[in-house]
Amino acid sequence: MTQLKRMRMRMETGIRYILFYLFAFLPFTTVAQIQTSAGVQYLMNAPKDMSTDFSDLSNTYFLADSLASFDVAQGTGEVNWKRYRLSPRQAFNTNGYWPVRMQMLDFPDTQYDNDPNLRLQVSFVTPRTLRIRMFTSPVVPKGSDAESLMLCGVPPVSDAWTGADNGRSIIYKSAYGSIEIQKYPWRIILRDANGKVMTQTRHLIDNDSSQVKLLPFSFIKRGSDNSRALNPVFTLAPGERIYGCGESFGALNKVGQRVHLFVTDPQGPETEGQYKPVPFFFSNRGYGIFMHTSAPVTCDFGASYIGADRLFMADEQLDFFVFFGEPKDILYEYTGITGRSPMLPLWTFGTWMSRITYFSQAEGLEIARQLRRHRIPSDVIHFDTGWFGVDWQCDYEFAKDRFPDPVAMLRQLRRDGFHTCLWQLPYFTPKNRFFRELVDSGMAVKNAAGELPYEDAVLDLSNPQTVGWYQSKIAGLLRQGVAAIKCDFGEAAPYDGLYHSGRGGKYEHNLYPLRYNKALWDIIQQTTGEGVIWARSAWAGSQRYPLHWGGDAATTNTGMLGDLRGGLSFGLSGFSFWSHDIGGFVTASPEDIYRRWLPFGFLSSHTRAHGAPPTEPWLISESFTEAFREAAELKYRLMPYVYAQAKDCTERGLPMVRALLVEFPEDAGAWLVEDEYMFGSQILVAPLLESGTSRTCYLPQGKWIDYQTLKVYEGGYHTIEAGRIPAVILVRDGSLIPHVPVAQRTDQIDWNAVELYPYRVEPSTPCTGLLFKPGDAALQTIKR
């Protein structure tokens, strides 16, 4: 049997897998979306809509009313909360509900407060960051900042803020803005450095001028179990735009949307669910908020009421970090609290070649040989689900019949300049040989009966014993010569489960990806000295354990758009590095789509061809192989630029795939663009999202030089022809871009041959750029 026939057989196997995937899972997604939108939760791990709890007539509602006391020097006081119930109201054959004052019937009545005074605390972290904590119970939680996985350490304390009590309000100010705590009606008002109100909380009296009786800043006590949940409500100004919330695939501007911050498997980047939600957002009015919680949140950004941000939280306490400034300032401050992405090894920025899936040692070596034969610059070979004895059944061992000498294979690949990545997942089916060990040893998540909540055993990564067991299995592979591990899944931690941490799934479900990312990153870093994972799920803080990719995109224009939106939104949520499956994942990519996806893939921080076969260009056509090679050579030629920009991102909390609004916050048009991006700070990329050779682009103010044709454009809207590489690629006037001769692998790049290319319209224009070479101690600013 020829090698080509064997590869075709593997391709047919991959297609059968994809068809199974489609029929098994896509109907689930459709039903889950319908039921979630109706507020009904029938399907396991569908996104949680927390807003439904706040229209339940069986609950008791406590509305923030007034400031009962406050110590300015200590930053602590108490808020008085008035007790209400929701009462149905009929008017002209339309039913609604109004909040109505309530006298409690609790017994013994001497032991409980009808209108409790509960703690409020304000503290200051940096001149641009403050922290607000509020509690719904007299009992303050015991957890410390040092124990929070979301934080990168105990936040510092800043003395840059001054406070005063003017009789009507408590006001704290820094050089960048102020917070006012109004005594009655109770409000928190955030102002910028010029005194302009950016946003403020809503009070019940704000309903006086409206027929809509919107619940203000409040919390509930559920009639079902007396548990509490908070609903902070802030004003949303005309023209205000909200960004962030993780890898969201809808419009970048979240105003008008209801975003569920609940880790789920959305089956691709085309739906409202998220693999990587992040409880952080910022506004074009100059503020950002990090909700320091792992409990689900539904963010209603003007969806149900156009003038309000309603944050429906499952948590019983509020812990908000508030940031002041422009997008770059806010991202720097946010990542200062939750951590920044560390710099990754040079080889990770090269080409990763993969598919569903390579099944044997011979196949992996042949792929490596073909990459070199076709002179496609590349650095990583990835084996997906098929390297085990049974496909998808993770047992951390190469199939003995198909990988007769995996150590020899790994060494050969390394000699040829390839690092190797392996797939795995944290779920163990009953037929997996580790299933019984995990269950009997208490290393799987349990339910209320102390048994398994699912048929599968899900690793309880809040258990140090489980983490040690898991890391020992991974370390064995790393010692054989594996360089990276794909951190797949992680979105299905049991919401009703009980965890070794002592907490339930309400707090552990969203935290699971962070625990998973950390456990894997730590053992790779400890064993190889080069931390890198390839993860699908994430939560706040996961940016410390890069890198992440965009999930299972459809092989359509919609799939490419969803990936682009997701990557931009992810970058606006504190993540520097991100990738996606070039051409899409679900079926064999049509050649036209694959061609147009190539420059988007190679002009991302990390680059992987993966999905249903064939992904290998030589199995598609000779002309496509040439197009693939040219895109790869583009990135390898730009590797000094890529590497320096990556270093800059890790120091400032910025994304490599960057929304225009981050780089051009003063340009109103830049805030509207969601189908272009800055690749680093100096190169603008506009992918061709539909068939054709040109597209309409918005260019921020200034002059722009076409990277491929050197044609000059002014800021504004233009219809621009793509070059030989099918994308619009432009360079900012005044940029100094470092290049190197193309190498077939990153460890053969000649860093002594770096050439600095000035891009300027006028010969007198000074050019600047960045340079950072392997082994350098610091990033350099270069000028010409």
Question: Which residues are designated catalytic?
Answer: 488, 491, 552
> Is 68 buried (19+), middle (13-18) or exposed (0-12) by CB count in 10 A?
middle
Task: Give the CA count within 13 Å in the CB-facing half-sphere of 766.
Answer: 4
- Residues 37, 42, 48, 52, CA torsion sign: positive
Strand bridging mode 607-609 / 351-353:
parallel
Work out the angle between the directed axes of helices 3-37 and 361-373 (0-180°, nearest 10). 100
Phi, psi of 364 (to 5 degrees): -60, -45
What distance in Å separates the CA atoms of residue 58 and residue 172, rounded to the nearest whole number?
Answer: 39
Residues in the chain: 784
What distance in Å separates the CA atoms of residue 609 and residue 600, rounded to the nearest whole number?
Answer: 12
The DSSP symbol for 249 reads -
Q: Which residues pair with 444 in a beta bridge?
A: 459
The residue among 630, 575, 642, 633 whose CA lies nearest residue 604 is: 642
- E strands along 193-237, which residues? 197-200, 218-221, 228-231, 233-235
Q: Which long-range contacts (CB under 8 A, 24 or more apart) does 703-708 make?
A: 703/733, 703/761, 704/730, 704/731, 704/732, 704/733, 705/730, 705/731, 705/732, 705/733, 705/759, 705/760, 705/761, 706/730, 707/683, 707/731
- E strands along 583-711, which residues? 607-609, 657-658, 677-679, 683-687, 694-706
What is the C-alpha R_g of the chain?
A: 27
What distance in Å separates the CA atoms of residue 489 and residue 745, rounded to the nearest whole number?
Answer: 30
What distance in Å separates the CA atoms of residue 184 and residue 181, rounded to the nearest whole number?
Answer: 9
What distance in Å separates the CA atoms of residue 467 and residue 518, rounded to the nearest whole number?
Answer: 10
What distance in Å separates the CA atoms of residue 616 and residue 369, rounded to the nearest whole number?
Answer: 12
The one-letter amino acid at 491: E
The DSSP symbol for 627 reads H
Biggest alpha carbon–alpha carbon distance for the chain = 88
- CA torsion 320→321→326→331, rounded to 10°? -110
H, E, C per residue of 688-715: CCCCCCEEEEEEEEEEEEECCCCCEEEE
